[in-house]
Amino acid sequence: MTERQKDRPWLMRTYAGHSTAEASNELYRRNLAKGQTGLSVAFDLPTQTGYDPDHILARGEVGRVGVPVSHLGDMRRLFQDIPLDQMNTSMTINATAMWLLALYEVVAEEQGADISKLSGTTQNDIVKEYLSRGTHVFPPGPSLRLTTDMITYTVAHIPKWNPINICSYHLQEAGATPVQEIAYAMSTAIAVLDAVRDSGQVPPEKFGDVVARISFFVNAGVRFIEEMCKMRAFGRIWDKITRERYGIENEKQRRFRYGVQVNSLGLTEAQPENNVQRIVLEMLAVTLSKDARARAVQLPAWNEALGLPRPWDQQWSLRIQQVLAHESDLLEYEDIFAGSHVIEAKVDALVTDCLAEIERIQEMGGAMAAVESGYLKSQLVSAHAERRARIEAGEEKIVGVNCFEGTEPNPLTADLDTAIMTVDPANEARVVQALHDWRDNRDETRAQESLSVLKKTAAGDGNLFAATLECARAGVTTGEWAWALRDVFGEFRAPTGVSSAPLAVAAEEGSPLAAVREKVAKTAAELGSGKLRLLVGKPGLDGHSNGAEQIAVRARDAGFEVIYQGIRLTPEQIVSAAVAEDVHCVGLSILSGSHAELVPDVLARLRRTGVGTTPGPDGPPIPVIVGGIIPSADATALREAGVAAVFTPKDFGITEIIGRIVDEIRIANRLDPLEVPA
């Protein structure tokens, strides 16, 4: 090997935040002391979706999947004793990205930092929220305006900041193929860059600075050769688009800049120790090739399919990165795939297919039009359904799930209650009280005046960032900022993609789906109803709808009439729909950890209607089933509370789940068991 300087490692991050700003600050400082080189902030769902902790939809969600940040005081406490002008901070925030960056900037000013020196990233990709992650608030047009205003502000005032992370990560989590992942992300980037260009806020000679600050957040699955080729294709297509569509001549400004969290979709609850080698292989996909190497990497923990990882689990994932970067010889070589005809052929094929799909989306009117029409969502739901069907058929192997299922007792999960971290249920009340104290002690006149200016600016065409900064300084809360904009922009309910998804699983005679169809038809006939009706509900703020959508699609294909109204519903709305639609079963999907709060509420409300989970005067009970990331102790408690069945990630057979749902309907209606195989 020719002697050459060893390359610098990528930024090493851990996606972290929970409970309170104080607890998260302590965690961040510990992680930095362990050798982490950047911060990646996880915000809780109320913060992400623009609700204060005391809002009805925030119940059970506060501090669960991230840190609650309700106002400047929380942000100040979150970064106490962490000098922001020396830190590279990534913030996973989208609909409320402008608000969180404004809070971050004000805290940096209070620390005495030079704002122009701040470096980091706000995710700020609203398109993938409509498609996969579900933390959108505003309609596409106003959302694109918020993104545009933020990009133009940061390019002028915080030039080292990446104001948007075009985020294909969640597209893969929603089932996207590599071609869909690249094509949809690039179509989003085109929509954003076109909007910035057409806003007139950036002179043409400065547009290269905008392109240079566009970053991407990418997923990497276990098929690491294909994933590495995907990254090379990403870079090639980005170079072509920025050069040909936007005329960027500076090669440095055209560079494809991306960070990565490797795949969580493929992490399993069964034999979770296997997740460690999956994570390592997935990391190799974005580090092996120097010409397509990630700028920043954060890895999930081995136990994420079980619940919230503990600090030790996150440390293990950080150490995986450190061993590769500091013990191996990876960073001593030029690109090791240069000249490989196998790699080049795969990359060429990906580029060709992606450009064709990008062109198809442009012909529809671009990414925003393809969101509003439901095209992108239905394509993702279909792709995910096809993947699940391959797994169930055994065509796609997952060790410990559909092959090599035998296992020795696992010492890592011998005590499941201590194998994950739990959030103190009393935490929410403390956060709510702190919010009320903040409101009581602020300058109320200044807060209301700043909100009035924000609404006037939103009703016009001025840049919203200055008004947002004043709201931050005036002590406005996250919910107040978002509601001011809701009053002007309205809210948006994205298409579910369920009704237009084609059949993914064969139902010929003798197949498992055919057997379940027979059970459905016989049960409907015995009950004297035209069809069995299943309500699929997502209570609370959890927007990860992939599982709910797959249940809805398979139930539809099995002969159910499915009522699925999308995400972000209160228990009251779910129960009202169940009664109005006269359903035979209610299925609740929750991945955020709020099941202990929200599911009992649904059960209690159903019972009060007289058609609940115990026989009532108006007819038989409605069985309630629950699916999600639910620890075993919680699953036991839910069943004791009246839930008919609990499904977790280990229950990967969707057709089998639909058969179980029919069984629970028969039990609830006192029908004899059917001898039809499921």
Query: Tokens for 447?
Result: 């807060």
| Residue 607 near residue 614, CB atoms below 8 Å | yes
User: CA geometry: angle at 408 spanning 407 and 413, to 5°?
Assistant: 95
Can you point out the beta strands (E) in 146-238?
A: 161-162, 164-167, 214-218
Stated as kind and residue range, the H or E segment containing 167 is strand 164-167
Catalytic residue, candidates 153, 169, 184, 246:
169
Cα 332 to Cα 264: distance, rounded to the nearest angstrom: 30
- Spot the catalytic one: 15, 104, 246, 564: 15
Catalytic member of 18, 128, 136, 170 = 170
Task: Measure CA 93 to chain center.
Answer: 10
Among 44, 125, 149, 542, which one carries the catalytic annotation? Answer: 542
CB atoms within 10 A of CB 637: 17
Dump the DSSP string for 393-461: HTSS--BTTTBS------GGGSSGGGSSB---TTHHHHHHHHHHHHHHHS-HHHHHHHHHHHHHHHHTT
Give the three-class secondary structure for 101: helix
Which among 102, 23, 111, 10 is positioned nearest to 63, based on CA atoms? 23
Cα R_g (the chain), whole angstroms: 25
8 Å CB contact between 187 and 370: yes
Note if 28 is an active site residue.
Answer: no
Q: What is the DSSP letter of 539?
A: B
Q: Token pair of 565, please? A: 């109204």
Whether residue 169 lies in the annotated active site: yes
Residue with tokens 């869909």, as numbered in its chain:
180
* Tokens found for residue 184: 């949809």
3-state secondary structure of 490: coil
The one-letter amino acid code at 15 reads: Y
Whether 517 contacts 507, CB under 8 Å: yes
Clarify whether 542 is annotated catalytic. yes
Supply 85's token pair.
Answer: 């002008």
Report residue 287 as tokens: 């580090």
The answer to whether 635 and 621 are in contact (CB under 8 A) is no
The C-alpha atoms of residue 132 and residue 147 are separated, in whole angstroms, by 19
3-state secondary structure of 585: strand
The alpha carbon of 97 is separated from its chain's Cα centroid by a whole number of angstroms, namely: 15
In sign, the C-alpha dihedral spanning 367, 368, 374, 378 is: positive
Q: What is d(CA 561, CA 579) in angstroms, rounded to the nearest whole number?
A: 15
| Residue with the two structure tokens 């035998």 | 406
List the beta bridge partners of residue 12: 297
Query: Look-up: residue for tokens 């070589």?
Result: 333
Q: Establish whether 544 is a catalytic residue.
A: yes
The H-or-E segment that residue 537 falls in is strand 533-537
List strand residue ranges (DSSP E) for 194-264, in order: 214-218, 258-261
Query: Would residue 346 show up in a list of annotated catalytic residues for this protein?
Result: no
- Residue 538 annotated in active site: yes
Q: Any idea of the CA torsion for 602, 608, 612, 615, to the nearest 10 degrees?
A: 160
Active site members: 15, 169-170, 538, 542, 544
